[in-house]
Chains A and B, each alone.
Chain A
Amino acid sequence: AQKITQTQPGMFVQEKEAVTLDCTYDTSDPSYGLFWYKQPSSGEMIFLIYQGSYDQQNATEGRYSLNFQKARKSANLVISASQLGDSAMYFCAIENSGGSNYKLTFGKGTLLTVNP
């Protein structure tokens, strides 16, 4: 069974500063993918970034980057130059690429608040 642990229920950051949201995972599968989703107060789930277990480089998407440390089984999300609109819940999820159904297992999320 796969598991995602997000140890920070809430985080605060000042506008324009960088913030790191932690995510550790547990899986016995050699091939997997890691996702981060954002859920603003309006409720929709927004895909942010993806990291494959065999990717040689850390993923980046604009202001989002993923600090992927495979040996430590961690996939922390780094948001640079935080904006007020970044205030939201952030979910880390793992997907078993080795299977055929691409199910996601989500963590419990981190609530990020960006202060002006």
Chain B
Amino acid sequence: NAGVTQTPKFRVLKTGQSMTLLCAQDMNHEYMYWYRQDPGMGLRLIHYSVGEGTTAKGEVPDGYNVSRLKKQNFLLGLESAAPSQTSVYFCASSSPLSGHPYEQYFGPGTRLTVT
């Protein structure tokens, strides 16, 4: 049982390049989330999904797109990376039917640098 995994762990992009971050969970959770963490800002929600085929915007969605084609995977895309998107990205999943009520289980994070 791997929990929540994220690929890649580190990435350096040039401004204007695109990339996709992959999040996978093996806990059969319905809900999945993407956050970004910047120094002094805590975690902020980018996008989330309450089920396969559904996505919704969070607090800071601009510049990102997401897809949830399979229940276990949640993809975060950057179409044209900007230096302001330099951050640590965390994926999380949860289910009201498992464990502590509404506890979110986090992946290890992806450190992205845009130069």
Residues of A within 8 A of B (CB): 4, 33, 35, 37, 43-45, 47, 50, 52, 91, 93, 95, 97, 100-109
Contacts and interface: CB of A to CB of B under 8 A. Distances in A.
A43 B42 contact: no
B91 to A, nearest CB: 10
A43 B48 contact: no
Given A45-B92, A93-B43, A100-B50, 15 more contacts: A4-B42, A33-B101, A35-B104, A43-B109, A45-B106, A52-B101, A97-B101, A102-B94, A102-B96, A102-B102, A104-B43, A104-B104, A105-B45, A105-B59, A109-B42
Contact of A44 (B42, B103, B108): B108
Given A102-B94, A106-B42, A109-B42, A44 B102 contact: no
Contacts of A37: 106
Contacts, number: 60
Counting from the closest, the 8 A-B pairs by CB-CB distance are A45-B106, A106-B42, A108-B42, A106-B43, A102-B102, A43-B109, A47-B103, A101-B50
Given A102-B31, A109-B42, A47 B100 contact: yes
A103 B33 contact: yes
7 contacts: A35-B104, A37-B106, A102-B31, A102-B104, A103-B33, A104-B33, A104-B104
Contacts of A100: 50
A106 B44 contact: yes
Interface SS of B by simple majority: strand
Interface string B72-110: 000000000000000010101010100011111110110
B58 interface: yes
Interface residues of B, number: 28
A55 B3 CA distance: 28
Given A33-B101, A47-B103, A101-B56, A91 B42 contact: yes
B103 A35 contact: yes
Nearest to A107: B42
A50 B101 CA distance: 8
Interface string B18-56: 000000000000010101000011111100101000001
